[in-house]
Amino acid sequence: MIPFFIPDLLLLLLPFVLITTRLFISKRSQLPWYMAHIGLITIFILLNFIPVGETQFFLSNWKIDSFGILMRELLVLSALIGISFSKEYFNYTSDFMPRMHHFSEFMGAIIMATFGGVVVVSASDLLTFFLGLELATIPMYALTAWNKKDSLGSEAATKFILMGSVATAFEIFGFSYLYGFSGSMHFQEIAVRVLENPNSPLLWISVLFLLSGIGFKLTLFPFHTWAPDVYEGAPTPVTAILSVSSKAIAISFVAVLVFGPLHGIKEQMAPFLGLLAGITLFIGNLGALKQYKLRRFMAYSSISQAGYVLLALLGPRETAGAAIIYYLFIYAFSNYLAFFIFGIIERNRPETFNSLRGLSRENPFLAVALVIALFSLAGIPPLAGFFGKFQLFFSAAQNHHYFLITFAILNNVLALYYYIQLIKSAWVDEPDPSLFRLIVNLRQKVWIVLLSVAIVLGGVLPFFINNVFKIITY
Amino acid sequence: MIDVILFNLIWVLPLLVMLICTPIPNTYTRAIKRIHLSSAIIVLGIAAYLTLKLFLLTSGVSPSSNGSVFSLHFVTQVSWWNAFGAQYFIGADALSLLMVLLTSVIVLTGMLVSWSIPGNAKIFFALIQILATSVYGVFMSFDLLLFFIFYEMEAICMYLMIAGFGSGKKDYGGKKLTLTLALGSSMILAAFLGIYVESGINSWNLLELGQVVFPMSLQMWAFPLLFMGFAVSGSLFPFHFWSPDGHSAAPTAVSMFAAGVMMKMGPYACLRIAIYLMPEAARIYLPYLVYLLIFNVLLSGWIAIRHKDLKYITAYSSISHLGLIFLGIAAMTPLAFRGAVLQMLSHGFLTALFFATIGMIYSRTHTRDITQMGGLMRVMPFIGVGFVIAGFACLGLPGLSGFIAEATIFIGSFQNESSLMRVVTILAVLSITVTAIYVLQAANRMLHGPVSPNSFYSLPDANFKEKVTIVILVFSLFAIGLFPNWISEFIDTSISPIYTNLIR
């Protein structure tokens, strides 16, 4: 058993170590990349040794609970896969994929954003909370524009910064009203005040602004329009990290708020959250129907996924926490798997559905992995994505939101339509001989196999864990 | 003990064989096909053995002795997701074993007819095995979550097979089929969640849930959702539209599978789950079902008369005959339920025979338009006779299975005393005439008269594998048709709990 602050501290130090190391080694050295891997894997392993149980406090504004630890594991894992994924983009150059530079700083920024997520899930007062969210967002602005010569990337970053700053302003405003209403920064005291006076207009103005602010980052309905442009303009590894880590941080921000300081008015908030979730997943699904560019498509798909995650918050704390964590893990696996495949394809092909034509003949391995990733995102059993979505619905069903659940589940059919569209390109269409051949290296193969196995077994695993002794003694 | 392992093997074996065959390179396609075929034969053997065993076990027991709980055999029940009480719970009673037997016959014959399928046969056979696994799972599982997983798996598999190996508008047909079925399963999942939460027993176990009396507030919205969700795969009117396009685009084996087995999953689950769990709502809603059936039974028969494409004719004929199954369900008498189950089995075999012979004809003539061919009986008598026997079974000729099933349904539903039900039953009897028109018209134009394009003179008759296919299916049709008594009593053992629950 180790003290709970060790992994956090290591995570904070790692970016500085990486950036400093680069000053002393040659430009071509891959040392920082290996160091980042070793560091993140160590942190991930250490996280598993933190005693889970009672909520512990540190200086009254830093708390550790099982939700926080699992979110840390998710974020670290996501950073690890993201860093491993981005290596191609710094080593090669092609017509479709200009080479990027300053890998150490790139990795440092990713890990910094991850640390921001850690702060969000650990915070127990408003100031720390806000700090964490900003720490998680600001590196993403820089990462979006990492490819300086790409005009689309710069455009995306500009949009992202402008929108993000407005969102931040909304949040600060919401926080200030929340402080003015309760007279305290600390979550527990705010929660007490909220219970005492749940109908105060001051409180509801603050809730409105907080939800709008986080709506930008979580790409909820009226605030989702930046996502497709930014996802398309940013370098692919950044898109992947945006769609996994940033989403995870934003949803845990909402979860911490809803189950922490605002728990007293959760029942009154439920219709708004439900409406937001329903509209968001519907709009995301509608938007994805007519896309033909891979990353724009993934943007809309992730907008609708955000709507689905929000459903879980309608349930009681225990099921919602479990559902969100499980779903985010599986979502991270499926999304990264899809992005690995898209990364291989866009290395020397244009980034559209057409580039997938005939994939099943050219490279059945990738085609099968693509089917697994997309069906998992669509929530088709027996893949883990189904169990993820099922838990979200299950959580919402605990509080009898049947109408909303039925709406969300029916929407799944829409989602299935556009995921099948991609699968059709890969499995049914004839190969296009003018396309360049695909190059898959060993590291990509290993990750694709690992992620696919995780997705396939994710739902079945509890069966084996429960019954391993029975099977042995049978 | 050994029976339980054999029973589990029914759905595990296809999956295992599929996994074993995956790493074998494509150059050994012949060997791969043989492995798949032998696994299908083994599963058929297991299913037949277990059915016989269960038949001998239950033959002396009077059907009313087990109350409203299904008497399950070969049960495996272990925990799976403790967090929400899901279990791996499979077992069998007469109904599910008969459906498993039907499935295994159709898997075997489906493999035989797609022996020389163009394209990557390894992937096609692997997909057949996944499809088989999921359908076996549907009929075997008595845990709702497990049931749902298998149910949805099967719809997805269908798309890959139709879009990858079909003919004509294959992508369109495949998408239409899969998305409509997915719509159905979405409705089912929503209703299942409501059932689970309102039951308050943290279990998805069908037998335990069957003892819970659900509040009417739940039943009034969950029953229609659940029933219609299942009825989508039974192609009940307004959700029948996937079936003609899906069937006509699919490769032969998939058409056989879809029409023979998959469309039976809907009525099977309506009986087993929807009516069993929510009998109070069933008593309210089922009388209204007959309005939808008028389209299913009569109008789709008329549509079939006007069609020239063999697969469209058969697809609309399937919709019409599935309507008879739902008529039996809507009548809510034990005899009508028995007739519905008999019709599921009978129609499963006969429509598989239809699609198999159509596939054989199409692979030789490269057309399915009945006006483009004639005199085929002279060049391919074996296939022609197979088609005619399927047609006779379809129009209810005594001696074949169709007569037994349809007569039981008509008598059973006439026992229902509501006058609306009786009027609809009389109308439904007319469907036999309609069936006779389109079956005989198709057979007449296609099989008799002079051999019309002269190039058809050189076409070969059925080869050995095709002959085996036709013989197996024809044998099954006669087996039900000539010895209906044993199978009827066998079916009654699993119908009576549903009926007991319905009148509680």
Q: Buried b / exposed e across A438-459, counting CB within 10 Å, b at 16+?
A: beeeeebeebbeebbebbeebb
Alpha carbon B199 to its chain's center = 30
pLDDT band for B169, please (50, 70, 90 cuts). Answer: confident
**B153/A381 CB distance under 8 A:** yes
pLDDT, tens digit (0-9, with 9 covering 90-100), for A360-382? 888 888 988 999 999 999 988 88
| Enclosing H/E stretch for A404 | helix A402-427
Instruction: For the beta carbon of residue A134, count every other beta carbon within 10 angstroms.
Output: 17
- Cβ neighbours of residue A175 closer than 8 Å, sequence gap 6 or more: A126, A130, A206, A210
d(CA A150, CA B51): 68
d(CA B349, CA B108): 12
Angle, helix A66-86 to helix A103-122, in steps of 10 degrees: 170
User: From the candidates A377, A401, A416, A471, which should be mutated to test the interface with B, based on the most B CB atoms within 10 A?
Assistant: A416
pLDDT, tens digit (0-9, with 9 covering 90-100), for A59-79? 777 888 888 888 999 999 999
d(CA B17, CA B9): 11
Look at residue A188 in the predicted model and tell me its pLDDT: 87
Rounded to the nearest angstrom, the minimum Cα separation between B269 and chain A is: 18
Chain B residues lying within 8 Å of A386, measured CB to CB? 149, 152
**A406/B225 CB distance under 8 A:** yes
Q: Which comes out higher in pLDDT, residue A437 or A286?
A: A286
* Alpha carbon distances (Å) from B96 to A397, B21, B93: 31, 29, 6
Which tokens go with B76?
A: 């495996």
Chain B residues lying within 8 Å of A391, measured CB to CB? 84
**A393/B164 CB distance under 8 A:** no
| Enclosing H/E stretch for A459 | none
Alpha carbon B431 to its chain's center = 20
Q: Give percent of chain B above pLDDT 70.
A: 99
Whose CA is closest to B242, among B227, B226, B253, B231?
B231
- Cβ neighbours of residue A89 closer than 8 Å, sequence gap 6 or more: A97, A99, A100, A235, A236, A237
Whose CA is closest to A449, among A457, A461, A459?
A457
**B196/A397 CB distance under 8 A:** yes
pLDDT, tens digit (0-9, with 9 covering 90-100), for A387-401? 899 989 999 998 888
d(CA B364, CA A227): 54
d(CA A447, CA A462): 23
Look at residue A433 in the predicted model and tell me its pLDDT: 82
- Using the structure block, give the residue that is written with the tokens 């890990």: A111
d(CA A453, CA A468): 19
Look at residue A473 in the predicted model and tell me its pLDDT: 56
d(CA A441, CA A210): 45
Rounded to the nearest angstrom, the minimum Cα separation between B437 and chain A is: 38
Angle at A333 between CA A288 and CA A335, to 5 degrees: 20
Contact by Cβ (8 Å): B143, B205:
yes
Under DSSP, is residue B235 helix (H, G, I), strand (E, B) or coil? coil
Whose CA is closest to B1, among B74, B51, B97?
B74
**B197/A397 CB distance under 8 A:** yes
Instruction: For the beta carbon of residue B71, count every other beta carbon within 10 angstroms.
Output: 20
Instruction: For the beta carbon of residue B118, count every other beta carbon within 10 angstroms.
Output: 11
User: From the candidates B81, B134, B180, B203, which should be mutated to test the interface with A, based on the most A CB atoms within 10 A?
Assistant: B81
Q: Give percent of chain B above pLDDT 90.
A: 33
**B189/A413 CB distance under 8 A:** no
Q: Give percent of chain A above pLDDT 70.
A: 97
Rounded to the nearest angstrom, the minimum Cα separation between A330 and chain B is: 16
Chain A residues lying within 8 Å of B160, measured CB to CB? 371, 423, 427
Rounded to the nearest angstrom, the minimum Cα separation between B280 and chain A is: 20
d(CA A355, CA A361): 13
Q: Looking at the partner chain, which of B175, B190, B221 has a beta carbon nearest the beta carbon of A409? A: B190
Look at residue B461 in the predicted model and tell me its pLDDT: 81
Rounded to the nearest angstrom, the minimum Cα separation between B194 and chain A is: 7
Residue of B nearest to A414 (CA): B179
Rounded to the nearest angstrom, the minimum Cα separation between B414 and chain A is: 37
pLDDT, tens digit (0-9, with 9 covering 90-100), for A116-140? 999 999 888 889 999 999 999 999 9
* Chain A residues within 8 angstroms (CB to CB) of chain B: 322, 360, 371, 375, 380-382, 386-387, 390-391, 393-394, 397-398, 400, 402, 405-406, 409-410, 412-413, 416-417, 420, 423-424, 427-428, 462-463, 466-467, 470
pLDDT, tens digit (0-9, with 9 covering 90-100), for B420-470? 888 888 888 888 888 999 999 888 888 887 887 777 788 888 888 888 999
User: From the candidates B21, B24, B193, B214, which should be mutated to test the interface with A, based on the most A CB atoms within 10 A?
Assistant: B193
pLDDT, tens digit (0-9, with 9 covering 90-100), for B256-267? 999 889 999 999
Q: Looking at the partner chain, which of B156, B171, B190 has a beta carbon nearest the beta carbon of A424? A: B171
d(CA B388, CA B401): 14
**B152/A409 CB distance under 8 A:** no
pLDDT higher than threshold 90 for residue B138: yes
- Using the structure block, give the residue that is written with the tokens 């059932």: B195
Which tokens go with A74?
A: 């998710």
**B179/A413 CB distance under 8 A:** yes
Chain B residues lying within 8 Å of A381, measured CB to CB? 148-150, 152-153
* Alpha carbon distances (Å) from A94 to A53, A91, A348: 51, 10, 6
Q: Looking at the partner chain, which of B148, B156, B196 has a beta carbon nearest the beta carbon of A375? A: B156
**A420/B83 CB distance under 8 A:** no
Chain B residues lying within 8 Å of A409, measured CB to CB? 186-187, 189-190
d(CA A18, CA A39): 10
Look at residue A40 in the predicted model and tell me its pLDDT: 93
Contact by Cβ (8 Å): B41, B473:
no
Burial of B83 (0-12, 13-18, 19+ CB in 10 A): middle
Whose CA is closest to B149, among B168, B129, B135?
B135
Whose CA is closest to B251, among B348, B340, B356?
B356
Burial of B398 (0-12, 13-18, 19+ CB in 10 A): exposed
**B194/A402 CB distance under 8 A:** yes
d(CA B61, CA B495): 14
Give the up-direction half-sphere exposure of residue A142: CA atoms within 13 A in the CB hemisphere: 15
Residue of B nearest to A381 (CA): B149
**B190/A400 CB distance under 8 A:** no
pLDDT, tens digit (0-9, with 9 covering 90-100), for A302-359? 999 999 999 999 988 888 888 899 999 999 999 999 999 998 888 888 888 888 888 8
Look at residue A332 in the predicted model and tell me its pLDDT: 94
Look at residue B419 in the predicted model and tell me its pLDDT: 86
Look at residue A13 in the predicted model and tell me its pLDDT: 93
Contact by Cβ (8 Å): B261, B102:
yes
d(CA B256, CA B239): 20
Sign of CA dihedral B362, B364, B365, B370: negative
Whose CA is closest to A262, among A169, A216, A200, A319?
A200
Look at residue A447 in the predicted model and tell me its pLDDT: 93
| Enclosing H/E stretch for A452 | helix A442-458
Bridge-based pairing of strands A62-64 and B86-92 is unpaired
Contact by Cβ (8 Å): B373, B444:
no
Whose CA is closest to A422, among A316, A470, A351, A472?
A351
Q: Looking at the partner chain, which of B78, B81, B190 has a beta carbon nearest the beta carbon of A470? A: B78
d(CA B14, CA B30): 17
- Using the structure block, give the residue that is written with the tokens 């409406």: A275
pLDDT, tens digit (0-9, with 9 covering 90-100), for B368-409? 888 888 888 888 888 889 999 999 988 888 888 888 899 999
Contact by Cβ (8 Å): A104, A78:
no
Q: Is A59 left (phi over 0), alpha (psi -120 to 50) or beta?
A: left
pLDDT band for B62, please (50, 70, 90 cuts). Answer: low
Mean pLDDT, rounded, for B333-355: 91
pLDDT higher than threshold 60 for residue B65: no
Look at residue A36 in the predicted model and tell me its pLDDT: 92
Q: Is B160 left (phi over 0), alpha (psi -120 to 50) or beta?
A: alpha
- Using the structure block, give the residue that is written with the tokens 């339920």: B337
Q: Looking at the partner chain, which of A380, A397, A416 has a beta carbon nearest the beta carbon of B179? A: A416
Which tokens go with A368?
A: 């099968």
Count residue pairs from A and B with Cβ separation < 8 A: 90
pLDDT, tens digit (0-9, with 9 covering 90-100), for B186-197? 999 999 999 999
- Cβ neighbours of residue A298 closer than 8 Å, sequence gap 6 or more: A231, A239, A243, A335, A338, A339, A342
Q: Give percent of chain A above pLDDT 90.
A: 45
Which tokens go with B337?
A: 């339920």
Chain A residues lying within 8 Å of B149, measured CB to CB? 381-382, 386
Mean pLDDT, rounded, for B173-189: 91
pLDDT, tens digit (0-9, with 9 covering 90-100), for B8-40? 889 899 999 988 888 888 888 888 899 999 999
* Alpha carbon distances (Å) from B123 to B32, B119, B161: 10, 9, 9
Amino acid at the residue B22: T
Look at residue A471 in the predicted model and tell me its pLDDT: 56
Q: Which of A200-209, B8-17, B66-75, B252-261 has the lowest mean pLDDT?
A: B66-75
Chain B residues lying within 8 Å of A423, measured CB to CB? 159-160
d(CA A122, CA B105): 59
pLDDT band for A469, please (50, 70, 90 cuts). Answer: low
State the DSSP code for A262: T
Bridge-based pairing of strands A56-58 and A62-64 is antiparallel
